[in-house]
Amino acid sequence: MEIKKTVLIAGITGQDGLYLSKLLINKNYKIVGLSTRYSSKKKDLTIIKTNYSHKSLNEIIKKYKPTQIYNLTAISEPSISWIKPKDTFKSIIDITLNFLEIIKHKKNKKIKFFNASTSEIFKSSKKILNEDSFIFPTNPYGIAKSAAHFLISAYRRNYKIFAINGIFFNHDSPNRDKRFLLKYLISEAKKVQNNKNHKIILNDPRPIRDFGFAGDYMEAAYKILSKAKPQDFIIATGRSISVRKLAKQVIRKMSVSSATIKYKKKNKDYVNLIKRASIKKIQKNTTWKPKVSLEQLILMMIKAEDNIQP
């Protein structure tokens, strides 16, 4: 009987952890998930409550001996990072460093480590961004992620470990929190359907972003961690859209009037207007490509919102 390999997923209760755990269970892995909230145990899925300290992580890795670790945990909203900068730094830099310090030791060097990086590390640019684009974050979340990104590169080079950054651009699903743009748009448009006087309030309509499906992106994460050589990759769709056009697309599919959308005053100092992604590297080096289009993603999320009982 084949012995199942074990994968450790930090941040398993989030959107990404949910899709990744399902993907890996289907590929015959045993999953050990980490959470700050609760513990549970099922057939191929064990969730352990942890504070992500070096001691706690070392004990878990020693006991379960994972072959792969996916670090998906973090305070992941840029606006919240301005309110809780210290917590944001701790949730990103400290946890990443704890994992790297454990993996660098000889007994753990065979572990493959995936770090969830982000497009927030990059400077806004009219040029299409790639893996070598200039890193210049503009909020505490992006700054913390940039530090973790550089830590991965440094430890990979100095200790010869298999550690990589998957640079995620915006990705969503029905399991997304309502604080994030696409889910917010859909949930607010649903309120308009139920209350004709409701308004959808948005900030600046000008930012341009790349939106994809979280399930697709977790498949990409698995593929790049399965490669023989550790490399950093952008994970995106290669197609981008402005906030204004995205909002119009959502409300059109939900038969809501564009008059319900109200934008706040444009910020003259807005620095993160354009972030378009190149996916040439991941397409060249793997068989991965996004399967779910933005239109399909919107329809999927609208359907899920319709099924929510009031």
- Tell me the percentage of the chain whose pLDDT exceeds 90: 86
Alpha helices (H) in 94-233, listed in sequence order: 95-103, 140-159, 181-194, 214-225
Of 266, 263, 253, which Cα lies nearest the Cα of 296?
253
Put simply, whether the predicted model's pTM sits higher than 0.75 gets the answer: yes
Q: Which domains does the chain have, with CATH numbers?
A: 6-172+211-235 (3.40.50.720), 181-208+241-276+293-306 (3.90.25.10)
Measured between alpha carbons, how far is residue 49 from residues 10, 54, 60, 168, 171 in Å? 10, 14, 10, 26, 26
- The gap between the terminal CA atoms of the chain, to the nearest Å, is 48
According to the model, what pLDDT value does residue 201 have? 93
166-190 tens-digit pLDDT: 999 999 999 998 889 999 999 999 9
Strand, coil or helix: 307: coil
Strand, coil or helix: 123: coil
Of 169, 93, 98, which Cα lies nearest the Cα of 128?
169
According to the model, what pLDDT value does residue 4 have? 87
Place of tokens 């743009």: 181
282-306 tens-digit pLDDT: 999 999 999 999 999 999 999 999 8
How many Cβ atoms from other residues are within 10 Å of residue 155's Cβ?
20
